[in-house]
Structure 1
Amino acid sequence: MNPVEIAEAVSELAEKPFDQETFPYAFLEAFGFKQTTIRRLKSGETNASDLPNGVLRRGSIHMLVCERGAVSSSLRALRESPRTASAKARFILATDGVDFEADDLVGGNTIACAYPQFSDRFGFFLPLAGISTTKQISDSDFDIKATGRLNRLYVQLLKDNPDWGVAEKRNEMNHFMARLIFCFFAEDTDIFSGEALFTSTIERMTAGVQTNTHDIISEIFRAMNEQDKESVEPKLPRWAVDFPYVNGGLFSGSVEVPVFSKIARSYLLHIGGLDWTKINPDIFGSMIQAVAEEDERSALGMHYTSVPNILKVLNPLFLDDLHAQLEEAGDNSRKLLNLRNRMARIRIFDPACGSGNFLVIAYKEMRKIEAQINKRRGEADRRSDIPLTNFRGIELRHFAAEIARLALIIAEYQCDVLYRGQKEALRDFLPLDAMNWITQGNALQLDWLSICPPTGTGVKLQGDDLFSSPLEQAQIDFENEGGETYICGNPPYLGSTWQDDQQKADLKAIFAHRTKSWKSLDYVAGWFMKAADYGTQTNAVSAFVSTNSICQGQQVPILWPLIFATGHEIAFAHTSFKWANLASHKAGVTVVIVGISNHAEKIRQLFSIADNDASIVKEAENINAYLVPGQNVVVDKLSRPMTDVADMDFGSKPVDGGNLFLNFTEKHALVQRSPAAAQFIHEFSNSEEFINGKQRFCLWIGEDEVADAREIDEIARRLDAVAEMRLASPKLQTQQSASTPHRFGEVRHRKSHYTIVIPRVSSENRDFLPVGLVSGGTIVGDRNFALYDAPLWNLALIASRLHWVWIGTVCVRMRTDFSYSNTLGWNTFPVPTLTEKQKADLTRCAEDILLAREHYFPATIADMYDPERMDKEFPLVREAHERNDDTLERIYIGRRFRNDTERLEKLFELYTKMTSSSATTRKVGAA
């Protein structure tokens, strides 16, 4: 379940008559617990409580429904219960149906409220559903609840008005919803005079009729579009005259409203009953945009982008500099004025703005700084000099674009109330300004210079009828002469596999004349290239959130030389971290943040997360495209290792149609019938067998054994089937191999005592690459790489965190998984010259890792390296890897590295030195 679904379920529970017996189980059901789990709790099978009538779900919550007036004492009993601690309950909850109290034993927070109001605090309990919450999320219960209610209304209106769901009517429907949201906000924040003016008017004027709801709303909208209400024809009804003139494009144009059924009217009034003063445009807009997208409605509430994550982009982009100037200005009136004037000309441009998160946060942060300036200058109630028109965006979806502008309007009003007071805010709020800042369209097709032009020129392009804004804004741009432009955002990522025809066409238009390899690029690369091109005409600095693949593997040599060629360099960056959403039990995508500029400071900032989750900021003279301090180099493939490590080769490829393979049952049956067959059967290991411990066998027949093997009927039948399959192949090479059906299509196996095996593709979620040993008689498949009879210290290198970060950085990705490469990853891996003592130490480390795994037999690699299970269930494996990393990293720098960024910095330093006299090092751009 997602937060919106949970909010609805909890609200329904709170509205029902309280049932002492069923409440604990209904509460768990509202947070997505399965019926089987609840049944086992009810039966007492899994109820670990030691209190009468208590319900304890291990690892989750201990609840007690008590007698009237005993809530506080019951909560104390829950807190003191030995079972609460031993069962590791995170929450304790007590209620009597009148009062409600709960504690978060991990977070240290508590709630106490009347029973019906506990639904307003559902965010407190989101960890029960596996949703990790930040303070901002738990403080945004209203936004999540409002989103759910609006979604119910939207779906009901489409059900009542099917014609409003067609493509031709969709924009009008979305515009209608934006108008409703404004009205709900306005009536609770005194923008409309009179208590709950919008909702109460609809309720009063539709009482006993109800089917005329659409007519009443239409007249209200018409009133807000008329400045001279007395002279308008047809005349407005007296009850509508109280609504103020709003316009600003929001209420201009058609006032047609979809028909409301009794159910839809009920939903509307219910939404109006919420306290819209609590709306938070930071989070609300990003969730409400999904209401209008049918294919996204199932993910409702998962579009939240946390403010701390957004600030990871905005702070180094420009906010840190503004804060530094504010601190330097102190109370100096002239310096403060200069800073304020500078801020009034700063433009923030998000060419993938969605519902406006980045723009809203940037606006609020700038208003916060401006408020401090005004306070120090004795002008606390001064009207803001920061115009909303300086916050510009492009968004593909119509409703998201509408919500982005509405979110900025709400943010402006809230900032005015906060910094100037309610009276001043109301005085200046209406009518709304008709000028537009958000353009609806395809950002990769539009000319950014026409939407956010160089200062002194007019806007040449606007979106289609968005708030009916004027086509010309030259006077705004003229006033912004000499200002700065900062481009930011979180564009769609979409690897090449997932791009549709239109998206491929977008990239082709941007890249085809620059490189033949553009088809391998992620969709987000288009935004980086457009930003670099834009920067050649302006003094803009740009920073985007992107999947980390754009700074790894094959995308580096394709994209970054093109960006560097425009004169841009990486001004700052944040290495890989999780950009999480609100989906329960799901990790967020791994992203990086990259800022580019053609006038970057001499010292660049590289942000990263340490192994202990602490934030680290490293200063560097240059940051390369792999997001590592150092020269702008590209790692190219090598046919042989550049250091003293063993040769690595692919495994053998069968090309047999499955005819050379046997499972355990087939092997056993064949040997029973024909004992001589045993000599031709070998164990087989591909990545699936190696990682998941599956047993599989293959026929492996030497050239001098073919005649004997064919004496066995089943083997002869299988070889004939291989020959038939190969002859039918359209590939000439495969057809030619039909004459030797006893051989794999590609044979690389060598006789050895043992083979070091590493899968070609493995999950990035593991902390270490899944490397191991198989016996020399095992045939290694082509989905693995193999090192035959290699010194065991080679395994220690591959199993290290150092090698993990190198592979993750320089090798190609298979979706988000690591795609190992011998030529690009192993042969280029920088290893210092090792002494015999160091090789012996690493050999012992490799042995310790293998012995630790053996200790947990029959657990598989998949089991032992599962990040959720490794530390708890297989601690000896973790300890062996820690010793291995400690030993190896001391060889490199005499101590453990602090984090992966430091590891990569050292590896690239070594790589550059080792290849400096060779043609294998390709430098790109200026270092």
Structure 2
Amino acid sequence: MAIDRNAARAFTARWAGHGYEKGEAQKFWLDLLEHVLGYKQTESVLFEHPVDSGGFIDVWIADAGVMVEQKSLGVDLDKPEPRQGVMKTPLKQVMDYAEELPLNQRPRFLVTCNFSRFRVYDANRGGRAVLSKAPDFEFTLEEFGEHPEYLGFIVDSKNSRLEKEKDVSIQAGGLIGRLYEMFEACYGDENGQPQIDDDIRHALNVLCVRLVFCLYCEDAGLFEKDGFYRYLKEAAPGDIRYRLQRLFKALDTPLDQRDPFDESLRNFPYVNGGLFTDETEIPPFTPEMKDLLLNEISGPVDWSQISPTIFGGIFESTLNPETRSQGGMHYTSPENIHKVIDPLFLDDLKAELAAVEETPGLTPRQKTNRYKDFHHKLCSLKFLDPASGSGNFLTETYLQLRHLENQVLFKLQSGQAAMALGEDQATGQRVSLSQFYGIEINEFAVKVAEAALWISRLKANGEPGMISADNNKHDFPLLEHANITCANALSLDWNQVLPAGQCTYVLGNPPFIGARNQVKAQKAELQAVFHHAKNSGNIDYVACWYLKAAEYMQLNPGVRTAFVSTNSICQGEQVANMWNPITDLGVHIDFAHTTFRWKNEASDQAHVFVIIVGFSCQNLPKKLYVHAEPDAEAIEVEAKNINAYLVDGPEVFVWNRNTPLCDVPTMGIGNKPIDGGNYLFKPEEMAEFLEQEPQAEPYFHPWMGAKEFIRGEQRYVLWLGDVPPAELLRLPLCRERMSRVQVFRQASKSKPTQKIAQTPARFHVENIPGVDSIFVPRVSSERRDYVPMGFIDSSVFASDSALIIPGGGLYHLGVLMSRVHNAWLRRVGGRLKGDYRYSAGVVYNTFVWPEVTPGQREAIEATAQGILDVRAGYPEAALAELYDPGKMPDDLKAAHERNNHAVAKAYGVSPKTANLGRFLTASHSDCADMRLTPRGAAYQLSPEASETEIVTHLFHLYARATAKT
């Protein structure tokens, strides 16, 4: 979120002349953080936080590395005050507080403030002597109103704890990956190639998980300082293996059962939890392995700074052979996880907690009871991730619940509330790992998830301001654990892991595997889950988790679910196939994120396009998070109903149709030769062929595929299907080509292809209309505002990478090239990666055309011709260049805008409105609030329509049109 200068001015006006340290500091800083800086983690900001010396930190923004010493209005920021028996200036107070913290918690930025003046000190500039000389910069409240960027460092991602945790996690994952490769080399053959069976791989995976756990504990203060490092440093490389075996056994042995005379292990705690229970093989260490472990992995890296949410995914992708083969280090960022958990439950929980404080007229006892009720609710929630992987959704959810619990406990620490806290302590009720359940098919991922959740608990216990009590008071031994089951989630009854009656939320990121990329076993699993569904063979693998969740929720309609998925499940033909059996179970979509780019790799490699869908059997308020572009921030839109296409529109399914819904010419696919390339020629190849056989010239035709049409390339096709046999006798080179085609088809594994080997002169798919046609590429870049289309004459053969409309005219071309039709394509058409995939059955045949007057039809014909005329003025430019968003000529943009205007008018938009230009110039990224104007039983686009609005309008037209059929 950008810093809001207008909000800064309003903030300055609100607080001018106000400011009492004890009574208004919290309101002042929360107002500044939320409304001016757009700081999103305000629940983690600590106020009046006690320190060991007896003082209190006024404001501690730990995630941003900022600490504030706040004074009342008018207090001199240079004047010493008595604090803990010593005279201290505000700067000395905040420096003392900072130095009382562990090194990894100390803030970088120190701020002193008296409501009217701010002083900022950067601890990276130097120590006490340097900072005491002068602040890095100083400004007044009035100056802040004009320059809110003065406090921009608070929201600068470079200074955030989350960014530092990400960097450390990526670094740590890479180092562990290198160590793992050294372990593998210990089992190499005479050529140095690793020979690892499943048992050895299991042992190495367990070893790496244990090492990571020890490294974290060492740097987080859970082991004696540098204890793990010193324990191994003393050993020769050949003894490291033996030392690790002894250490792991000790960590699984209660202190009173250990060898009392073994001094080297005396200071290591009893960990328990099962992590160190089994004895597994450890390879012998070489000097290089010892050096890497101690001098690159243990020594320089602060393992206490890793994020269990991020590191679990990186760790698994680094060591899991199934993911290592894909390359890169994969992780799911906390930001993306929050796109799921915030609207699913976290936003509501935060609002519920805030309501206790903000509800007027509550007595202290009533507030205490409400806080207790809320705390009991937190402790009763149960979460299931049925594709838990390395546990990142569960770890982030656990950490967020601990933060909320800490806020409640903080409220219950004073007066009568302290008695309530004591009662809760007596019952031992706390947010616990036992509330979290997962199903994961990969054994190693299960081990990583278990370790990540334990580290999450230990990390939460050590976070600034975290209140510990009862089962969270002692870090070790580990007495609680999550419930991660190693099993196939599609063949397992989820009730065996967590009965639906006990579950509150289902969440996660099930695997993305398209219908055409599934192996035989996955297809069988999908058929088993969708056993009664229509066209289930054309459904993505991830859909299985949706239907399983819907069936699970039948046993407890109070359960809510949210999954991350590829956007293909809400686009194209499979939407109806997948969602129809799900909605038949009474499932409603509660919230959704439209398509955005899922950047989940540390190596910044390929990204996928995803959506998020939250659903339940309840009729809850709907929220639609619209991403204008795949990389854009979401705009929240309240919706009346969210259908399976993630549109605020009627609950209808766009089924594949064989004929158009309206009275328009038929669209068909182009020609598919299946010829092994023998009938296709580049210009020079055709010229060479005709030099040898000039009488074949009448049988060559321009060949137009999507590539040739968009890039302006030329190819030709040899069409012999209608050549009389007597003529073929005079064409030996043509017969030779036919022979090659026949051999190629006979060698195919496809029976239909083998069959057409009997007629080698003909194509597998033939569409040769003999009239001029509209040409539509089947795939077009998602970067373009318009799909390039045009006419081809009767002599041109279109390939199967295109669709053609024989006899289509300028009117049809104008509507198809309009923003209205492109909006329909983007929503109901399929995608190939991120690109648009046009389909006759799902896009063209289902599109509702406008009911036009003769004048409107003529206007659209004129604007369509105008587009063609402008394009003809650039004979040297290919359509790829003309329709590149960064290169599109202004006159071509204007021609398309005139066409949009004409089509919009045909759909009911008045051309005389002052705001019409907004509809015409709005790109597909424009996501304005929705405004639909009912006109009787129909709907009409308003003058300020955006693409979101256009699609909603079209869905209403589609629902009305299909209701008649």
Give, as a single letter, the amino acid of the residue that structure 2 aligns with 1:245. Y
Query: Do the aligned partners of 2:385 and 2:506 also contact (CA within 8 Å) in 1?
Result: yes
- 1:711-730 aligned within 5 A: 714=733
- What are the within-5 Å matches in structure 2 for residues 374-385 of structure 1? 374-378=409-413, 385=430
Contact 1:178–1:406 (8 Å) recurs in 2: yes
Q: Is the 8 A contact 1:680 1:709 kept in 2?
A: no
> In 1, distance between residues paired with 2:677 and 2:605?
36
Equivalent position amino acid for 1:597 in 2? S
Structure 1 residue 265, shift from structure 2 partner: 0.9
The residue type paired with residue 269 of structure 2 is P
Question: Matched residues in 2 for 1:422 and 1:739: separation?
Answer: 80
Provide closer, same or farther for how the CA distance between residues 217 and 625 of structure 1 changes in structure 2, counting only shifts above 3 A.
Answer: same
What corresponds to 2:216 in structure 1? 185
Task: Please point out which of 264, 279, 300 is paired with 1:254.
Answer: 279
Aligned to 2:347: 320
Give 2:298's aligned amino acid: G
Q: Which residue of 1 aligns with 2:949?
A: 902
- Is 1:579 aligned to 2:609, yes or no? no
Give the aligned residue type for 2:645. Answer: Y
> 1:916 aligns to what?
963
* Displacement of 1:238: 1.3
Cα RMSD between the aligned structures? 3.7
Q: Equivalents in 2 of 1:254, 1:181: separation in Å?
A: 17
Q: What is the DSSP-based 3-state SS (H/G/I as helix, E as strand, rest coil) of the residue aligned with 2:474?
A: helix
Letter in 1 for 2:964: S
Match of 1:409 among 454, 461, 477: 454
Match of 1:690 among 709, 732, 742: 709
SS at match of 1:635: coil
- Give 1:297's match in structure 2, choosing from 314, 324, 340: 324
Deviates more, 1:137-146 or 1:416-425: 416-425
- Please tell me the residue identity of whatever aligns with 1:416: N
The answer on whether the counterparts of 2:432 and 2:480 sit within 8 Å (CA) in structure 1 is no
1:418 alignment partner, SS class: coil
Q: CA deviation at 1:319?
A: 1.2
Residue 149 of structure 1 corresponds to: 175
Q: Secondary structure at the match of 1:642?
A: coil
1:326 counterpart SS class: helix
Residue aligned with 1:619, SS = strand
Query: 1:186, 1:725 → 2: CA distance?
Result: 64
Counterpart in the other structure of 1:58? none
What corresponds to 2:885 in structure 1? 870
Work out whether residues 573 and 654 of structure 2, in 8 Å CA contact, stay in contact via their aligned partners in 1. Answer: no
Q: 5 Å matches for 1:593-742?
A: 593-601=612-620, 603-610=621-628, 613-654=632-673, 660-669=679-688, 678-699=697-718, 714=733, 741=761
Letter in 2 for 1:554: E
The alpha-carbon deviation at position 369 of structure 1 amounts to: 2.2
**1:247–1:434 Cα contact (<8 Å) kept:** no
Gaps of 5+ in 2: 1-121, 127-156, 189-193, 359-366, 910-915, 928-946
Moved more, 669-678 or 820-829: 669-678
Counterpart in 2 of 1:90? Answer: none
> Structure 1 residues 518, 790: CA separation in 2 closer, same or farther (over 3 Å shift)?
closer
Distance 1:111 1:872, change over 3 A: farther
Does the CA contact (< 8 Å) of 1:287 and 1:300 recur in 2? Answer: no
Structure 1 contact 164–170 (Cα < 8 Å) conserved: no
Answer whether contact 1:287 1:301 (CA < 8 A) is retained.
no
CA contact (8 A) 1:768 1:801 kept: yes
Per-residue CA distance 1:18-42 (angstroms, 9 max, x = gap): xxxxxxxxxxxxxxxxxxxxxxxxx
Seen in structure 2, the aligned counterparts of structure 1 residues 800 and 281 have a Cα distance that, compared at 3 Å, is farther
**Could you say which residue in structure 2 is the equivalent of 1:398?**
443
Cα 1:412–1:902 change in 2 (3 A) is: farther
> In structure 2, how many angstroms separate the alpha carbons of the residues matched to 1:252 and 1:716?
74
Match of 1:471? none
Give the Cα separation in 1 of the matches to 2:584 and 2:309.
37
Asked whether 1:159 is paired with 2:192, we answer: no
Aligned to 1:200: 230
Cα deviation, 1:744-797, whole Å, max 9, x if unaligned, reads: 666543444x43211234455544323222234322234422223422232233
Deviation digits for residues 726-746 of structure 1 (CA, Å, limit 9, x no counterpart): 9999989998997894x7666
Residue identity in the other structure for 1:222? K
For CA contacts below 8 A with separation 6 or more, give which structure has more relative contact order. Answer: 1
In 2: Cα distance, 1:211 partner to 1:307 partner: 41
Task: Supply the distance in 2 between the matched residues of 1:576 and 1:316 (Cα, whole angstroms).
Answer: 16
Q: Deviations over 1:240-276 (max 9, x none)?
A: 1111111121222326533211111111112111212
Alpha carbons 2:539, 2:578 under 8 Å: kept: yes
Asked if 1:245 is matched to 2:270, the reply is yes
Partner-residue secondary structure (3-state), 1:509: helix
Contact 1:734 1:745 in 2 (8 A): no
**Match of 2:310?**
283
State the distance in 1 between where 2:899 and 2:252 align: 72
Q: Determine the structure 1 residue equivalent to 2:522.
A: 503
The answer to whether the 8 Å contact 1:164/1:173 transfers is: no
334-343 vs 138-147, which deviates more? Answer: 138-147
Offset from partner CA, 1:600-640 (integer Å, 9 cap, x none): 31x32222113693523333333222222233222234443
Alpha carbons of structure 1 residues 200 and 843: separation in structure 2 relative to 1, 3 Å? farther
**TM-fit CA distance, 1:180:** 1.3
Q: 1:744 to 1:490 in 2, by over 3 A?
A: closer
The amino acid that maps onto 1:870 is P
Evaluate the alpha carbon distance shift between residue 916 and residue 280 of structure 1 in structure 2; reply closer, same or farther with a 3 A threshold: same
Question: Could you tell me how far apart the structure 2 residues matched to 1:679 and 1:287 are?
Answer: 61
SS of corresponding position for 2:609 = strand
Secondary structure of 2:238 counterpart? coil
Conserved 8 A contact 1:160-1:261: no
Query: Could you report, residue by residue, the CA deviation over 1:693-717 in whole angstroms, capped at 9, with x for unpaired residues?
Result: 3212234579798867866665576
Instruction: Show CA shifts across 1:299-341 (max 9, x none).
Output: 5653122222211111121112112212221163222222111
User: Please, which of 355, 359, 367 is the counterpart of residue 390 of structure 2?
Assistant: 355
Aligned mates of 1:377, 1:887 — CA distance in 2: 65
Report the CA distance between 1:534 and its aligned residue: 1.1
Report if the CA contact (8 A) 1:871-1:878 is conserved: no
TM-score by length of 1: 0.73
1:861 Cα deviation after fit: 3.6
Distance 2:650 2:483 in 1: 40
Aligned to 2:243: 216
Q: Which deviates more from structure 2 when the two are superposed, residues 244-253 or residues 496-505?
A: 496-505
Q: Is 2:301 aligned against 1:272?
A: no
Note if 1:433 corresponds to 2:451: no
The aligned residue for residue 141 of structure 2 is: none
Take 2:465 and 2:494, find their aligned partners in 1: how far apart are those partners? 35
Secondary structure of the 2:702 match is strand
Preserved CA contact (<8 Å) 1:570 1:594:
yes
Residue of structure 1 equivalent to 2:540: 522
Distance 1:862 1:724, change over 3 A: same
**2:743 and 2:269 mapped to 1: Cα distance?**
83
> Helix, strand or coil: the match of 2:462?
helix
Q: 1:675 to 1:211 in 2, by over 3 A?
A: closer
Equivalence for 1:339: 374
Give, in whole Å, the separation in 2 of the partners of 1:199 and 1:263.
16
Q: Which amino acid aligns with 1:154?
A: Y
- Which residue of the partner structure matches residue 401 of structure 2? 366
**Residue type at the aligned position of 1:367:** R
What amino acid is the match of 2:330?
H
TM-score normalized with structure 2 length: 0.71
Query: CA separation of 1:655/1:268 partners in 2, compared to 1, >3 Å: closer, same or farther?
Result: closer
User: How many corresponding residue pairs?
Assistant: 752
Distance 2:542 2:698 in 1: 54
Which shows bigger deviation, 209-218 or 582-591? 582-591
